[in-house]
Chains A and B, each alone.
Chain A
Amino acid sequence: MIEVKNLTKAYGNFTAVKGISFKAERGQILGFLGPNGAGKTTTMRIITGFMPASDGTVEIDGLDIFTNSLEARRRIGYLPETPPLYSDMRVEAYLRFVAKLRGVKRSAIDSAVEHALEVCGLTNMAHRICGQLSKGYRQRVGLGQALIHNPPVLVLDEPTIGLDPRQIHEIRELIRGLAGERTIVLSTHILPEVSQICDKVVIINDGRIVLEEQIKEIPVGTSLEEVFLHAIAREGHVEGATPEETLEEVGAGHSGA
């Protein structure tokens, strides 16, 4: 559903993303994990068409995000790092606005807005002004606008950042409920998020992919944290280390120690 091939992004002298490739199949929840500054947000922005890649391609449902931009964008729902709310609009009016922009048919707008409000727990907040919402609610409205047009692909950039534990739990439940037919890519640096919600994990460090693995392939007894720290450390030392070897090493380290 989402296919990233050899993606590179350079800002002048600094290369943020260095030739990464990964895939998310239909119906999968992919966790995009990495330390701060690894290139997660840049990758999300390229996938959703906000900025172009310096090299490589991104295909959404077979459509190239750069050459077939308009069509590809129709299939994506995107929650950026900062929820893109207009602070002087009311929640319902805002969702209505996004619904129209995203091509929801006029007759379907009312039900789409109602559904989004319900799914995100915003029915009581429909008439609040976006600028007056707390962080948790802003995040929910952001999620609401990402799914208002019922897209087959959802790209969520750090959806639980800055939320309190209860809110985090709610958002995660929400995301888990959204899966099914939808393909979801969520980026985070919170490990439990990935192990609890995702089917697949891709770890990025310093612009390179250091691991791409199904969650169920991770050996029982190995915490994701170990895998993560090992992958990060490894990348720093050995050039050309393949992601598969990382898992083996962690496994070996376990049984050896």
Chain B
Amino acid sequence: MRNTFTIAGKELQGYFVQPVAYVVLTVFLLLGGWFFFAMLRQFDEMVQLIQMMGQSDQLKQMNLNSRVIDPLLHDLSIVLVIVMPALTMRVFAEEKRTGTYELLLTAPIRTGEIVAGKFIAAASFTLIMVALAWIFPLILIIFGDPEVGVMFAGYLGLALLALSFVAVGLFTSSLTQNQIVAAISSFGLLILLYVISWPAEAGGGIVSSVLTYLSLPTHFSTMTRGVIDTSDIVFFLSVIVLALFLTQRSVESARWR
């Protein structure tokens, strides 16, 4: 246990001294800000239009949550798909490249402790990132009257989604020495998990339900709409646990080859 936290602490410190993490953070928040601004402006224009046209009953349907936060969260999730692989690509690949992998594998620590420590560090950084994106709901709360509970559910979904991305990224990083390969594989896997439900519309029956279940947006959308369903939480946790398990196997396999 102690080893896990030793590694986590060192890794987390490492995030703050290299440029990659800051670039990821900046890109994420900047794009988030841009989308937020765009959505809000659009919302504002529509409200004004409706007021001008005098259709006050339509006004009631203009919901800050569904028109601003919901699309914002979906846009942010797309940004994450692109940006998270860049954050996680070096986690194992770099160690293999610089030779420090040898240090970790010859130290009296378990493989599971290495994987857990690295995940905790990456996850902590990611959660900080998501927490910083809470500035957008904060602005809405100050100037408007959105439903805080719904926003909280949406951000919880974003956090879980981001953690799944971290786990997948860690896995691909453990498979190779080459950071670019790790990043692109991670990106590819995440896109796959996004589009896996597309053929489902065509087919029917059990295949369709399975594919829809496996799709990340399915579960994410439920949460952005404000519903915290345990089945969605379980889904995300399962993705995380599976990816980390595979990562542990991958690192352990070095001892057996």
Contacts and interface: CB of A to CB of B under 8 A. Distances in A.
A22 interface: no
A86 B100 contact: yes
Interface in B78-115: 98-110
B87 to A, nearest CB: 16
B10 A97 contact: yes
Interface residues of A, number: 30
B3 A52 contact: no
Contacts of B105: 49-50
Nearest to A155: B106
B14 A101 contact: no
Contacts of B256: 52
B257 interface: yes
Main secondary structure of the interface of B (DSSP, over half): helix
Main secondary structure of the interface of A (DSSP, over half): loop
Contact of A51 (B99, B103, B108, B254): B254
A250 interface: no
Contacts of A81: 99
A102 B108 contact: yes
B257 A86 contact: no
The residue among A51, A52, A81, A89 with the most chain B CB atoms within 10 A of its own CB is A51
Interface residues of B, number: 25
A70 interface: yes
Interface in B207-257: 254-257
Interface string A116-149: 0000000000000000000000000000010000
B17 A100 contact: no
Contacts of B108: 70-71, 73-74, 101-103
A86 B104 CA distance: 11
A85 B106 contact: no
B253 to A, nearest CB: 11
Interface string B170-182: 0000000000000
Contact of A102 (B102, B107, B254): B107
A204 B151 CA distance: 67
Nearest to B107: A101
A24 interface: no
A73 B6 contact: no
Interface string B2-39: 11001100100010011000000000000000000000
A85 B100 contact: yes
23 contacts: A45-B102, A49-B105, A49-B255, A50-B105, A51-B254, A51-B257, A70-B108, A71-B108, A73-B107, A78-B102, A80-B102, A84-B102, A85-B98, A86-B14, A89-B10, A97-B6, A98-B103, A101-B3, A101-B6, A101-B103, A101-B108, A102-B107, A145-B103
Interface of B: 2-3, 6-7, 10, 14, 17-18, 98-110, 254-257
